[in-house]
Amino acid sequence: VAGNTNDRLQALKDILAEVTDLSRAAALLEWDQETYMPPGGVQSRSEQISTILRLSHVRFTSDEVGRLLDQLEDDVAKLPFDSDEASLVRVTRRDYDEATKLPPDLISEIARAGSMAQPVWQKARREANFSLFAPYLEKNVELNRRIADAIGYDERPYDALINRSEPGMTTAQLEEIFAELKRVIVPLAADIARHADVVDDRVLYRGFDPDLQLAYALGLVKRLGYDLERGRQDISTHPFSTAFGPGDVRITTRVSREFFNECLFGSIHESGHAMYNQGMGQNIDRTPLWGGASPGVHESQSRFWENLVGRSLPFWRHFYPSLTATFPEPLRGVDEEAFYRAVNRSYPSLIRVEADEVTYNMHVLLRFELENEMLEGTLKVKDLPEAWNTRFKSYLGLNVPNDREGVLQDIHWSYVSFGIFPGYTIGNLISAQLMEKIRTEIPDLEGQIEKGQFATLLGWLRKNVHRHGRKFTPNELLERATGRPLTAGPWIAYVQQKFGALYGLQAVKR
């Protein structure tokens, strides 16, 4: 490509802008599918989405992009690591290699295997019969090995897979972190279980008017800083957040009359994702730098607001009066402290997506171990249910009654990609690591939250996390924001302190 560096950068950006527009258009079609599309639209919609994504993939993986990257890597070599230009070339290269490394016939085999396995997984789950699904999972394990081989790795095959979603993370780093978590959570969860009667959450099931819940939740996330000029909330079966650009970042929620937590904490969670996208710099819009640094970092933002802010006592000191004014009947006779305890009740449960803050990471750890062992061949697929059930018992003390509530509960293993689960724990840990740093830089944080002031907090996240988008890997981002890479220490200190106080555990020990 002729011309100078600026011409080449502009040529690359023009292509990347088109690629971004196409994928955002596909995301809008997906949003519509989950919210308003009539059931009859499924067939046409899946064709439209796959056409758009194919066009986007072809445009992105073109030889032209490869040539521009080759030349631009020399052009930007002397620019600072964190400059927009050097970052654009570095991150686009990573995406380009990932998109071009898998041979086309492997990509179509993966797609085929996923679409064949999913209905079988649904049937197997419905009938709680793992043996129906086992041959399909065996195929998926084999395909995951082939993906790892095609991408390449130094130490462990799982490294190649985890790198696709959490760039820079290694299996060894995660094993160390999970081992540390296991040493703390197993005894803590058992200790909490022995004091289970200290926390009563029956108030959450007293029946709350759905329309009032929706209005209250929307008003609340607006107060946190979710900008409704650039966002909106709709209803869907599974809540999610999606972004079509800096000016249009949406959330969905669901509401249950029977269980209070679903709508409010779901909305706070999704608005955490959405505020992340709303805070990404205009300077990186329509490039691969615009987006979450990783699924784990994205999850850190949602958990930050949902758990560290939304499930804190100062938060409820501020919001509880307006909550009781909105729902006087169901909240009668319950004070803010009792309500705070109710929304933080911790107990071992079978289902990951229903797990509380303390036990959640054990569900992830279990899946991480099993995926790794299947991939390395030390665990046979046919032995998976037994391994699941045995470990579940030793980690969370529960007997798994059937495969539906055990090994078949998640959709993830019915499509091919391993390496997704660790992101959930990475998110939890990052949220606490950021909060530890924030407390040193905003010493009055609790006072501000108690007054319903969130602007300084959101400003810190904007400056240190949001505006960078995908410029940095998760570890790089954490080094810059907190001075060290991912570590379990802050999260462990947080749950020990919070749940020790909630359940009166220290008092018992001393």
Active site residue 270: yes
Going from the C-alpha of 101 to that of each of 107, 191, 288, the distances in angstroms are 10, 48, 18
Instruction: Tell me how many residues contact Zn ion (CB under 5 A).
Output: 1
What is the token pair recorded at 268? 């706070």
Residue of minimal Cβ distance to Zn ion = 302
102 Cβ partners below 8 Å, 6+ apart? 110, 147, 150, 151
Mark residues 7-46: x for contact with Zn ion by CB under 5 A, - for none. Answer: ----------------------------------------
CB 434 within 8 A of CB 481: yes
Minimum distance, C-beta of residue 433 to Zn ion, in the bound complex (Å): 17
Residue with tokens 């819009």: 285
Least separation in angstroms between residue 419's CB and Zn ion is 17
Contact predicate 395/121, CB 8 Å: no
Query: Which 3 state secondary structure label does DSSP give 319?
Result: helix
Of the pair 188, 430, the CB lying nearest Zn ion is at 430
| Pair of tokens at residue 226 | 């979710």
For the segment 264-323, give every residue that binds Zn ion (CB under 5 A). 302
Distance CA(100)–CA(67), nearest Å, equals 13
Place of tokens 């293993």: 413
Catalytic-role residue among 34, 127, 175, 270? 270
CA distances in angstroms from 337 to 23, 200, 313, 316, listed in the order given: 45, 11, 7, 8
State both tokens at 269: 């969670």
Q: HEC states along 161-210?
A: HHHHHCCCCCHHHHHHHHHHHHHHHHHHHHHHHHCHHHCCCHHHHCCCCH
Q: In angstroms, rounded to a whole number, what is the distance separating the alpha carbons of residues 197 and 194?
A: 8
Name the minimum Å distance from CB 200 to Zn ion: 28
Tokens coding 17: 């802008």
Q: Which residues pair with 249 in a beta bridge?
A: 243
Name which of 35 and 324 has its Cβ closer to Zn ion. Answer: 35
Smallest separation, CB 273 to Zn ion (Å): 6
**Distance between CA atoms of 80 and 87, rounded to whole angstroms?**
9
Nearer CB in complex with Zn ion: 302/425: 302
Phi, psi of 3 (to 5 degrees): 95, -175
Q: Which is nearer to Zn ion, 144 or 359 (CB)?
A: 359
Instruction: From residue 309, give the alpha-carbon distance in Å to each of 81, 205, 284, 445, 457.
Output: 33, 22, 29, 10, 10
The CB-of-255 to Zn ion minimum distance in angstroms stands at 18
Smallest Cα–Cα separation from 161: which of 110, 218, 225, 93? 110
Rounded CA-CA distance 54/294 in Å is 23
Q: Strand, coil or helix: what is 238?
A: coil
Longest dimension (CA), the chain: 75
β-strand partners of 251: 233, 241
Closest CB 299 distance from Zn ion, rounded Å: 5
Just list the catalytic residues.
Answer: 270
Give residues in contact with Zn ion (CB under 5 A).
302
